[in-house]
Amino acid sequence: MAHALDELLADGVEGRHVLVRSDLNVPLDGTTVTDDGRIKASLPVLKKLADAGARVVVMAHLGRPKGQVDPQFSLASVASRLSELADFPVTTAEDTVGSDAQAKASSQQNGEVLVLENVRFDPRETSKDDSERGAFADELVAVVGGDAAYVDDAFGAVHRKHTSVYDIATRLPAFMGDLVKTEVDVLSKLIENPERPFVVVMGGSKVSDKLAVIDNLIGKADALLIGGGMGYTFTAAQGYNVGKSLLEKDQIDTVKEYLERGKAEGTEFVLATDVVWASAFAADADHEVRPVESLEDGKIGAEGLGLDIGPETQKTFARYIAEARTVFWNGPVGVFEMEAFAQGTKTVAQALADTEAMTVVGGGDSASAVRNLGFDDDQFGHISTGGGASLEYIEGKDLPGLDVLGA
Q: Catalytic positions, please?
A: 38, 206, 364, 388
346 annotated as a binding-site residue:
no
Number of C-alpha atoms within 13 angstroms, CB side, residue 6?
3
Question: Residue 32's beta-bridge partner residues?
Answer: 29
217 annotated as a binding-site residue:
no
Query: What one-character-per-residue DSSP string does 8-25 give?
Result: HHHH--TT-EEEEE----
8 annotated as a binding-site residue:
no
53 annotated as a binding-site residue:
no
243 annotated as a binding-site residue:
no
The CA distance from 75 to 114, in Å, is: 12
Do 220 and 267 contact (CB within 8 A), yes or no?
Answer: yes
DSSP state of 208: G
95 annotated as a binding-site residue:
no
Look at residues 139, 178, 156 and name the one whose alpha carbon lies nearest to residue 49.
178
363 annotated as a binding-site residue:
yes
140 annotated as a binding-site residue:
no
Query: What one-character-per-residue DSSP string does 83-104 give?
Result: HHH-SS-EEE-SSSSSHHHHHH
210 annotated as a binding-site residue:
yes
Look at residues 390, 384, 371 and name the one whose alpha carbon lies nearest to residue 210.
390
134 annotated as a binding-site residue:
no
374 annotated as a binding-site residue:
no
38 annotated as a binding-site residue:
yes
The CA distance from 153 to 45, in Å, is: 8
Do 276 and 306 contact (CB within 8 A), yes or no?
Answer: yes
CA 283 to chain centre: 26
The CA distance from 365 to 202, in Å, is: 12
308 annotated as a binding-site residue:
no
67 annotated as a binding-site residue:
no
Quick one: angle between helices 343-354 and 364-372, nearest 10?
90
Look at residues 42, 46, 8, 7 and name the one whose alpha carbon lies nearest to residue 24.
42
133 annotated as a binding-site residue:
no
The CA distance from 193 to 111, in Å, is: 40
Number of C-alpha atoms within 13 angstroms, CB side, residue 291?
2
290 annotated as a binding-site residue:
no
Q: Is the peptide bond before 197 cis (omega within 30 degrees of 0)?
A: yes
43 annotated as a binding-site residue:
no
Annotated binding site for ATP, which residues? 210, 306, 337, 363-366
Annotated binding site for (2R)-3-phosphoglycerate, which residues? 38, 120, 160
Annotated binding site, which residues? 23-25, 38, 61-64, 120, 160, 210, 306, 337, 363-366
